[in-house]
Amino acid sequence: MNLYCWGANSHGQLGLGYKSEEEIKPKQIALENCDLKAEDIVSIKGGAGHTLILDNHGFVYCCGWNSKGQLGLSDDTVKLTQIEILKGFKIVQISCGWDFSAAVSECGKQFVWGNNGNTQLGLSKSITCTGIPVKTASFTEIGNRI
């Protein structure tokens, strides 16, 4: 099985290994140097200039723009890269906003990272952005699951 992409790529958000204004025709993403297997993908989400991919092992991969820490890495990347800090959790859902990201683990823990300028991460107003996925207050502690 192969993974294909097309569309805007000005920040490397397609994971092709380079930046380009747009890719009009579908292009295959090279996964040879990545642990991600196309047949294991369960979800792909896109933000303004970044992408998250979730596989059936609960691992999250990212690529693209990282201006506010929305990749959960230290820098931009044009190749699909695993978010190491989330490896200890089996992630079952992912989401992207304009310049922020979120994930939910199998046990109901929610992680958020990226821009918090309008408190969209649900963190304190004093935190304007974070490049490290942060566990939010557990909804299970108040009797609800995410």
Q: What is the pLDDT of residue 23?
A: 97
Q: What is the pTM of this model?
A: 0.92
Domains detected in the chain: 39-142 (2.130.10.30)
Q: Which amino acid is at 106?
A: E
The secondary structure of 8-68 as a DSSP string is EETTSTT-SSS-EEEEEEEEEPP-TTSS--GGGEEEEEE-SSEEEEEETTS-EEEEE--TT
d(CA 104, CA 97): 15
Per-residue pLDDT of the chain (146 residues; tens, 9 = 90+): 999 999 999 999 999 999 999 999 999 999 998 999 999 999 999 999 999 999 999 999 999 999 999 999 999 999 999 999 999 999 999 999 999 999 999 999 999 999 999 999 989 899 999 999 999 875 555 555 55
